[in-house]
Amino acid sequence: GLPAKVTIYEVGPRDGLQNEKGIVDTTVKAEFVRRLLDAGLPIVEATSFVHPRWVPQLADAADLMTELMTDLGELGRALPVLVPNERGLERALELGLRHVAIFGSATETFARKNLNRSLDAQFAMFEPVVSRARDAGLDVRAYVSMCFGDPWEGAVPIEQVVSVGKRLLDLGASQLSLGDTIGVGTAGHVTALVDAFTAAGVGTERLALHFHDTYGQALANAYAGLRAGVTTFDASAGGLGGCPYAKSATGNLATEDLVWFLEGLGIEHGVDLGKVVATSVWMAGELGRPSPSAVVRALAG
């Protein structure tokens, strides 16, 4: 049967805003995060401590986190942030943050494009990040990108994804988020990938699924994931998102689409749909374009 309860891991402020052409004001970002928390989202990934030249959209990461901690105290410190390397971790530690996420690639080409490292060299970059973070008592999530297909390499073999994912978990990450960065995955492929992790000894309680909706498959893929036993799903309010270093990556699975779908199945999620829709409508106004989410458009009235 299906799980009774699902955790929605909100990535809009990070995966969404990292891909915007314009730079959103720090105060608007802070308001976005606060509204998402107020809508009941249990985890809101706030920003990235990456090189500001690589992702200028998130160059204000320290200011944003300082503002959020001033407003929210411990709740602000607990918001996860991406850190690719030791420099990123140091920036997060200076602020006293508690949750970080590393982001690896399942393919050679994307490792080079996104991390300026070979597939193998990415592990050497992440190893001290995870060990130092854990020593400092932080929790570390690990993403794997290009788990289904890669715009340069085509289809990505399942064994390659499992191998990269296991290496990231072995470094000491608590959870692995499997990313369909360019949204080419389909439901049967999701089932096969989750089953391959299970067969390799990685239980579904350690997995999360991270879908982009480029081909309109994200929700069908989430259903396949649910049926395979996964209970954590990444989503982005209003369907914002994409990766600036991945050709043809568009928006993430919209949080509203996921919530509507879970409602229909009677699966507990703790999120107030109306509040997320109102937040996405407000954010669309800030960004100057409508949300791509069908649920947002239907409910916005």
User: Hey, which residues are catalytic here?
Assistant: 243
The least distance separating ligand HMG from the CB of residue 91, rounded to whole angstroms, comes to 6
DSSP string, 176-238: EEEEETTS---HHHHHHHHHHHHHTT--GGGEEEEEB-TTS-HHHHHHHHHHTT--EEEEBGG
**Binds ligand HMG by CB under 6 A, chosen from 3, 20, 31, 54:** 54
In the chain the first and final C-alpha atoms are separated, in Å, by: 35
Binding piece for ligand HMG, criterion CB under 6 A, among 69-77, 84-92, 168-176, 266-274 = 84-92
How far is the C-alpha of 266 from the C-alpha of 226, rounded, in Å? 13
Beta bridge partners of 139: 99
Q: Is 85 in the site for ligand HMG (CB under 6 A)?
A: yes
From the list ligand HMG, Mg ion, none, partner contacted by residue 191 (C-beta under 5 to 8 A by kind): none
Applying CB under 5 A, the span of 11-19, 35-43, 44-52, 153-161 interacting with Mg ion comes to 11-19
Closer residue to Mg ion (CB): 15 or 67: 15
Nearest one of 269, 271, 292, 270 to 280, comparing CA atoms: 292
Q: Does 243 bind ligand HMG (CB under 6 A)?
A: yes
Q: How near is the Cβ of 183 to Mg ion at its closest, in Å?
A: 10
Largest CA distance in the chain: 50
Q: Which residues are within 8 A (CB) of 282 and not within 5 positions of it... i.e. 6 or more apart?
A: 35
- By CB neighbour count within 10 A (0-12 exposed, 13-18 middle, 19+ buried), where does 288 fall? exposed
Contact by Cβ (8 Å): 182, 154: no
Pick from ligand HMG, Mg ion, none: which does 140 bind, CB < 5 to 8 A by kind?
none
169, two tokens = 């978990």
Distance (Å) of CA 153 to CA 101, 167, 177, 247: 25, 21, 21, 12
15 binds Mg ion, rule: CB under 5 A = yes
User: Does residue number 116 form part of the binding site for ligand HMG (CB under 6 A)?
Assistant: yes
**Is 84 a binder of ligand HMG (CB under 6 A)?**
yes
- Give SS3 for 268: strand
80 binds ligand HMG (CB under 6 A): no
* Burial (CB count within 10 angstroms: exposed 0-12, middle 13-18, buried 19+), residue 159: exposed
Shortest distance (Å) from residue 18 CB to ligand HMG:
6
Per CB under 6 A, 48 contacts ligand HMG:
yes
- Least distance to ligand HMG, CB of residue 116, Å: 4
Identity of the residue, 243 or 277, whose beta carbon is nearer to ligand HMG in the bound complex: 243
Q: Which is nearer to ligand HMG, 212 or 269 (CB)?
A: 212
Q: Are 234 and 11 in contact (CB under 8 A)?
A: yes
Question: Letter for the amino acid at 18?
Answer: Q
Question: 103 is in the binding site of which of Mg ion, ligand HMG, none (Cβ under 5 to 8 A by kind)?
Answer: ligand HMG
Of 29, 167, 210, 269, the one binding ligand HMG by CB under 6 A: 210
CB 277 within 8 A of CB 299: yes
Q: Does residue 115 belong to the site contacting ligand HMG (CB under 6 A)?
A: yes
Among the listed ranges 108-116, 133-141, 156-164, 270-278, the one in contact with ligand HMG (CB under 6 A) is: 108-116
**Using CB under 6 A as the criterion, which residues of the chain lie in contact with ligand HMG when the complex forms?**
15, 18, 48-51, 54-55, 82, 84-85, 87-88, 91, 103, 114-116, 143, 145, 179, 181, 210, 212, 243, 245
**Using CB under 5 A as the criterion, which residues of the chain lie in contact with Mg ion when the complex forms?**
15
